[in-house]
Structure 1
Amino acid sequence: MADRHVLVACMLVAFLVTFLATRLVTRAIRAGRGPFRDTTVGGVHVHHQVYGIFLLLLTGTAAFTYRPESPWVEVLAVLFGVGAALTLDEFALWLHLEDVYWSAEGRTSVDAVMLATVIGALLLIGANPFDEFDADGEATVAVSVLLNAAFVGVALLKGRVVLAVVGMFVPLVAFVAALRLARPRSRWARRYDPEKLARSHARFPAARETRLDRLVDLFALPPEPADRDPFSPEPAAGGLVTREPGGSRRSG
């Protein structure tokens, strides 16, 4: 069997390349540049997450059924990364059950991709808290996992999503995130008194644009639609496929 780090590297590289290529293609389609067109079947637009879901099902089934050796296991890892990117690039669609690719809600897809990248990077460098406790017995592992899960849960309730995800692999990060101030719109902040809530608003002002926000905008902000497209992008009905009037196209 191939080395775990090699497989993670294959998945991560394929994931990032596919995500970047997909965003370039969807932006080109919306702007009316290049030869790219949306795929439609009988007037039904097939979203690219459909291909991603089929790839995930195919690679998962093949991996569990055949347990292939190198080089086929690396091929499956690459295909899995491609499928994951195509699926998560439209995370907002299957979260909101409507076509919000170029809307404010569509930023959720980029957030999901960034979190998946963080997880992949941590796995690539070998961050695995379970390895640290293997020598101490099952009881120590169980207690450590439960404590860390509690810290991760608190961090999520406080709206510290990135720190919570990193904390799944680096327990100290989850512990620190659980102690820090919650974001003002998080569930945890509902317990704050007015003074502490004011501190939270000062720490996380709604109008502040962070470097992370600017990075997300780089991928999530839509280009100007093509003049030749008579239909402005409208939120479509929920599901994996959407029907658009007169066969008009929605990027992605």
Structure 2
Amino acid sequence: MSTTSEAVPVEIITARDVPLGGPRAMTVHRTLPQRRRSLIGAWCFCDHYGPDHVAATGGMDVAPHPHTGLQTVTWLFTGEIRHDDAQDVHAVVRPGEVNLMTAGAGTCHSEVSTEETDILHGVQLWTVLPEDARHGPRRFDHHVPDTVSFDGGEALVFLGSLLGETSPVHTFTPLVGAEIRLDPGASVDLVVDPGFEHGVLVDTGRITLEGTPVARTEIGYAGTGASTLHLVNTGDLQARLILLGGE
């Protein structure tokens, strides 16, 4: 797919390494929030982790903790996480399945990698709720998106709309979230909402966004005004990306 669009400037958001848990804690690469940029649309938090050898680090072991006024979005590439919350929801998060918890006026949950998990790899995301929803009811959504193929790759759209696919998961502001896999040497022009700002997190591969290289664990940020985002895999291996966007 190819369309013509004036390129928007790309800002590189680098990650800082943060230990998650105790002395044998796994390390996460945190790109949001930062002083220079705290939000991409309503996306307010992005932790990228793995591939993490659970036997060496203990994996994910996040004790019960509270949230209010936001949604937590868990997306995995490898491994499993057990989610338990105060709404009496007990779920196992698996690769390619999105779990979204709406905290609303307040809830509590824990996240622990399962005993069957050898390698843990994925992203933990949050969205901030608007004022008219932040004190509302709690809820939990689970969705398994279909794979959408395009020339040069494929995608899993877990929130919002992209590539002709729309997720049924409810959000309280317009958002998009998708895993994109781009073949070696391939390029794609993603048709996007020009009212959105977007971030492209690189998990694997060598990528350029609008001609700007974006390294692994970095986010390439593009502000509003773009009707397409031009991505190129300049490497010889498949690239995997997370696209985040919102108004």
Shared fold per TM-score greater than 0.5: no
Superposition TM-score, scaled by structure 1 size: 0.25
- Structure with a larger share of its residues in helix: 1
Q: Greater relative contact order: 1 or 2 (C-alpha under 8 angstroms, separation 6 or more)?
A: 1
* TM value normalised by structure 2: 0.26
Looking at secondary structure, tell me which structure has more strand per residue: 2
Larger-Rg structure: 1
